[in-house]
A = this chain, B = another copy of it.
């Protein structure tokens, strides 16, 4: 889902003009926007890629999100927590577009068709991110590893209604995603296998049980 979907080159350039965007280029492993903290802005990756790195109260760093071409970041205007994140470019020639919210939300922007198309796209992308975040909360609210796994399976199952779930990442990353210890997760996966709840073959997990709400 691209924020510029439905816009041709001319409209795109008019949009950038209207929104008084700024573009910045980075080499690999540079921090994006260290000087722009506390500003009321969000960004779009135009080229290259970057990682959002979360720094917790102890200073521990973890990769929160991997940004690729056309990913948005800082869309939730989290002025409060912006200090807790670092965004680091992962390639040379990483280019980002910065948009100011105050300019974005000016009333009279909406007389331009290209602006309205762009806003619809933003709306959809943010909604989609919100849905993903919501899925994650549902999983993390579970107290046991087993419950987190089963909730994850349930959510994935309902995306296709197929009993075979193809993981978008490896098992180690799954452990990170559901925020549990890797070896403890393997232990629990083994239990689920032995109890004939699932089978695991590489990145394919097959559910052998009835989902709660569906057959």
A46 to B81, CA, bound (A): 31
Question: Residues 9-53 of chain A: 1 if any B CB is under 8 Å from the residue's CB, otherwise 0?
Answer: 000000000000000000000000000000000000000000000
| CB contact list, A90-132 vs B, under 8 A | 105, 107, 110-111, 113, 116-117, 119-120, 122-124, 126-131
Residues of B within 8 A of A158 (CB): 80-81, 83-84
* B57 with A211: CB separation less than 8 A: yes
Please give the number of chain A residues whose Cβ is less than 8 angstroms from any Cβ of chain B in the complex: 57
Task: Answer whether residue A70 sits at the interface, using C-beta atoms and an 8 A cutoff.
Answer: no
Task: Answer whether residue A71 sits at the interface, using C-beta atoms and an 8 A cutoff.
Answer: no
Residues of B within 8 A of A122 (CB): 123
Starting from the known contacts A57-B150, A75-B130, A122-B123, 6 additional A-B residue pairs (CB-CB under 8 Å) come to A55-B212, A78-B131, A81-B138, A137-B137, A140-B140, A143-B180
Instruction: Identify 19 residue pairs between A and B in the complex whose beta-carbon atoms are under 8 Å apart, listed by A's number.
Output: A56-B138, A57-B150, A57-B151, A57-B153, A57-B154, A62-B141, A75-B127, A76-B134, A81-B138, A81-B155, A81-B158, A83-B213, A105-B123, A107-B113, A110-B111, A110-B116, A111-B111, A126-B126, A137-B137
Binding site for B on A (CB under 8 A): 54-59, 62, 75-78, 80-81, 83-84, 105, 107, 110-111, 113, 116-117, 119-120, 122-124, 126-131, 133-138, 140-143, 147, 150-151, 153-155, 158-159, 179-181, 211-213
